[in-house]
Amino acid sequence: MNELQLIKGIGPKTIKYLNKLNIYNIEDLIHHFPFRYEVLNRSNILQAMQDEKVIIDGKIETKPVIIRYRGRQNRMSFRLMTSELLIQVNVYNRAFLVNHLLIGRYITVIGKWDKKHNTIIGNDIIFTKLSNEPLIIPIYHTTTGLNKKNLHNYIINTMEIYDNFNDYIPDYLVKENQFISKKEALINIHQPTNESLLKKAILRLKYEELFLYMLKINYLKDQNNEIDNKYIKKVNKEHVQKFIMKLPFKLTNDQIKVIDEIIDDMQQPKRMNRLIQGDVGSGKTIVSVIAIYMMYLCKYQSALMVPTEILARQHYQNIKQLFKDINIKVELLIGSLTKKEKDKIYTQLLNHEIDLIIGTHALIQENVEYHNLGLVITDEQHRFGVNQRLNLINKGIKPDVLYMSATPIPRTYALTIYGDLDISTIKTLPANRKEITTYLKKSQQIKEVLYLIKQELELGHQIYVVAPLIEESDNSDLSDIKKLEHQFNLAFGKLFKIEVLHGKLNSKEKEKIMQSFLDGNINILISTTVIEVGVDVPNATMMIIFDADRFGLSTIHQLRGRVGRSNLQSYCVLISDKEKERLNILTKTNDGFAISEADFKIRGQGDLFGYKQSGDIDFKIADFQKDFKILLKAKEDAKKFISKKLFEQYPLIKEKIETSIIIE
């Protein structure tokens, strides 16, 4: 039996919903943190206006009366004595609460005030009386079939019976930083009683997450600095130069500099462990292709791992073309191949009949073995966890490693975030690329935007449209993807093919839609940010982003990078009625590094009660942009912990680190 079923209210059906949130056990459940909080203050009912949202508490004076109508619909009514006056409360479709609404019980009601009829239309009931402190309500990410209130109840029920709170901060650091205990932190983050305790809980949990992360980084750095002459590869620079000269385009100075850094790495008696970061379209892939050619000259195999099958196929086709005059055997290994096709590739890899294998996570399956793997490249490296990357690194010999990322990070931050890597940067774009023109429009200027779209469609070009939500939310007026689909069908549906892509589709559905867009069979693709990591669609020339103020500048820049993939003039249109000054930065520059710097400065420490925007690294609560000062402290503490060789004194921390990375 799954341990989650030990929790009151959780059965097999609920477990399926929890699994969709990546909650598989009790540890996952109690670490499913709120992404924001709603702060409620008691309303003065005498001063409240007609239809105003109010929050009041009082004592139940009458037994609730239930009226049923239209099949399963119901209305429950009772009287509540507040400190000001006796009022009527009407609650719809909450009849299941009737046994809890006992005469004399104190409750808090949140709802709309109908002043004319002395009635609250309640949409939420909390079974406690408001204290003098504001009521802080945690808001969780959830999924269809699992409401926020039930999810919160499951977490609270767990906290009541579970006492195995593993503390991964050494006791001397808990004392030094005056942290509250792990148990106190978890209780207060899920059921905060006041803002002060909530801040202490958040600080303590963020520090723990960042401390563990920096321990991993420094542990890996020690591993990567192992000196051994077997890592030295004698690269024939003349052959490399001849290959570069035959390319159908000229390399930029930045690309040449990075290639020199890679050659230098390969000739060192330690393993290459390098991150190449640069804007979308800056030419990172061709640098990796040249590194693959170096490995081929040194008689080693290479592996290129990417996030999606469609991207793997595109790399396969492009790289085969670049190697068409060279006897380099390139193969594609993806999940959709038949067992027979996969078995053939496994045999060829083991026998060194393949020099370069390109694929998705299929490359790190247990039955994939290499003859002499010399180089591992991961594209969009921040999309892979440390475990997945190391899984591949640990196959066969210890290979050199190149990570590629199109998410520019200011150097100061990159040296901390990717502290175990050497960092190369490509800033200059290839000569044939035109700068993307970016406009900022208000929602009432939508007709102008539609006209711009029409012009591009009539030229035979394709359009991306991005919305931040998948479905409407009760407390949000943001443009939702289904509403956008309806509006675009009204405007363009008779003449152009429109399709929708979002995170609720399975991977095969997403790949099918993206392939269709790549093939030119879809004119307008309406999507959530799942297109941020995508294929090159040279014919896509316009990116429309609704509610642009909801995104970080770097995220918008990544989305914008989906267009401008050819010599065609491309455009990005940001639609927003807010944050004009911040968004204007994007209309003035296409430099991802400058934008990233601005994003870091603007976001600062963030807002405790605002929406949490995750960074590229998948933390549960920390955000390396907002929490950079905490990260620097964690980095310093982690370095001291390792230098003092304290792992043996803290076996729990040692076990956590060793089980979360693969020891080489």
Nearest to 414 by CA among 368, 381, 378, 455: 381
Nearest to 279 by CA among 537, 20, 589: 589
647 strand-pairing partners: none
Give the distance from CA 628 to its chain's centroid.
Answer: 18
**Residue 66 falls inside a structural domain:** yes
Do 364 and 490 lie in one domain? The reply is no
**Residue 59 falls inside a structural domain:** yes
- How far from each other are the two terminal CA atoms of the chain, in whole angstroms? 35
The answer to whether the CB of 531 falls within 8 A of the CB of 545 is no
**Residue 208 falls inside a structural domain:** no
Do 319 and 443 lie in one domain? The reply is no
143: DSSP letter: B
- Taking each helix axis from N to C terminus, what angle separates 284-297 and 309-322, rounded to the nearest 10 degrees? 60
- Phi/psi zone of residue 563: left (φ > 0), alpha (ψ -120 to 50 degrees), beta? beta
Do 115 and 263 lie in one domain? The reply is no
**Residue 492 falls inside a structural domain:** yes
Do 481 and 396 lie in one domain? The reply is no
Do 233 and 328 lie in one domain? The reply is yes
4: DSSP letter: G
Residue 607, pLDDT score: 40
Give the end of a domain, one of 554, 589, 624: 589
**Residue 471 falls inside a structural domain:** yes
Residue 434, pLDDT score: 80
Residue 383, pLDDT score: 46
Residue 664, pLDDT score: 34
Using only the alpha carbons of the chain, give its radius of gyration: 28
The residue length of the chain stands at 664
Do 451 and 573 lie in one domain? The reply is yes
146: DSSP letter: B
Do 350 and 479 lie in one domain? The reply is no
**Would you call 58 helix, strand, or coil by DSSP?**
strand
Do 328 and 457 lie in one domain? The reply is no
Do 231 and 104 lie in one domain? The reply is no
CA dist., res. 106 & res. 63, Å (int): 13
**Residue 70 falls inside a structural domain:** yes
Structurally, how many domains does the chain consist of?
3
Do 399 and 451 lie in one domain? The reply is no
- CATH at 73: 2.40.50.140
- CATH at 451: 3.40.50.300
Do 120 and 237 lie in one domain? The reply is no
- Give the range of the structural domain holding residue 303, as residue numbers without chain letter: 227-270+283-405
Residue 416, pLDDT score: 79
Q: Residues with Cβ < 8 Å from 473, sequence gap 6 or more? A: none
Do 446 and 580 lie in one domain? The reply is yes
Give the end of a domain, one of 133, 148, 180: 133
**Residue 141 falls inside a structural domain:** no
**Residue 519 falls inside a structural domain:** yes
Give the end of a domain, one of 557, 589, 621: 589
The answer to whether the CB of 77 falls within 8 A of the CB of 65 is yes
Q: 10-residue block means of pLDDT along the chain (664 residues)?
A: 86 92 91 89 87 91 92 91 92 90 93 93 84 84 88 91 88 95 94 92 95 88 75 90 91 94 92 86 90 95 87 90 92 89 93 94 79 86 52 65 81 76 83 85 93 95 84 49 88 92 78 89 86 74 92 85 86 91 90 80 48 50 84 92 92 85 44
